Amino acid sequence: MRPIWKGNISFSLITIPIGLYPASRREDLNFRLLRSSDLSPVNYKRVAQTDGREVPWQDIVKGYEYDEGKYVVLKDEDFRRVDVEATQTIDIIDFVKLEEINPIYFDKPYYLVPQKAGTKAYALLRDALKRTGRVGIAKVVIKSRQHLAAIKPQNNALVLELMHFADELVKPTNLRLPASLDVGTRELEMATDLIERMTDEWNPEKYTDDYRSALLKLIHDKVEHGGRTPPDNGRKKKKPANVIDLASVLQESLDQMHAVGAEQRSSTSGRKRKRKEAA
């Protein structure tokens, strides 16, 4: 895998040459627009608004609309002139405690991999971050845009996670959110109990994209049926409950969790008994 970006981590007088590699992937299903009569693919054309003529790629430039209908054209050299140094450097500004950062600020992770000359300094920064429980807050320019970012230790790696600037986040001031309400001691205790019963250790492998899997299965079934939709398996969708009595709904949820727990304990004890009999 080739790095998507090369540069340096810089803090104080320390410089660490690194490469940037994707740490996540999004495997979206790609669909083509087709003409329904013969399934001929439909293509998009780049058409100018003034005369309706198609515009070839070599005649297209980037422009910023500074006033209605008025544009200033920016070329590649203009983007490079803004801050040449910043395009090559992940400049750490501060070190902060990770728990002080609201998760809403985090966006997209990348792996930082040291170049040969930076191996020791890379390990030093990683281990120092682990020992102090801190993350580095930095600025970096990727693809002509400056990002706020956090540098975190992750096992043997350093992870660069792009972040939102504060002014990019929408404040929920205009949303209709409930104020402090007297929800009742009994309901609160039952809800707390339900959360405790549903609490488990974090295991990311446990969670998968069910919708994508189901959609892929449907596509494969349609291919096997010559493009026809296969018969429904009869599974009914869950309808959202009309919550009127919150306490009764909570109690029903707790009863279900209790039944599931009893079934799991019974299954576990049965397996242990069989192992003892076999021994």
Q: Where are the beta strands (DSSP E) in 75-191?
A: 89-97, 106-114, 134-142, 145-154, 157-163
pLDDT at 125 over 80: yes
pLDDT at 51: 92
**Using alpha carbons only, what angle is made at residue 165 by residues 164 and 167, rounded to the nearest 5 degrees?**
120
For residues 242 and 153, the model is more confident at 153
Q: How far is CA 214 from the centre of its chain?
A: 21
- Cβ atoms of 105 and 167 closer than 8 Å: no
Residue 149 CA to residue 90 CA, distance in Å, equals 9
For residues 161 and 186, the model is more confident at 161
Q: Which of 171, 100, 104 is nearest to 137 (CA)?
A: 100
Lowest mean pLDDT among 109-113, 151-155, 175-179: 175-179
Residue 15 CA to residue 192 CA, distance in Å, equals 49
Whether the pTM exceeds 0.85: the reply is no
Residue 243's pLDDT band (cuts 50, 70, 90): low
pLDDT at 197: 81
Determine the average pLDDT of the residues in 50-76: 90
Average pLDDT, the chain: 83
Give the DSSP H/E element, type plus range, for residue 40. strand 40-41
pLDDT at 227: 79
pLDDT at 273: 64
pLDDT at 279: 57
In the chain the domains, ranked by start, together with CATH numbers, are 5-27+81-168 (2.40.290.10)
Q: What is the pLDDT of residues 95-113, one digit of tens each?
A: 999 999 999 999 999 999 9
Q: Which of 140, 143, 134 is nearest to 112 (CA)?
A: 140
Residue 118 CA to residue 153 CA, distance in Å, equals 16
- Among positive and negative, which fits the CA dihedral 153, 159, 160, 162? negative
Residue 238 CA to residue 240 CA, distance in Å, equals 6
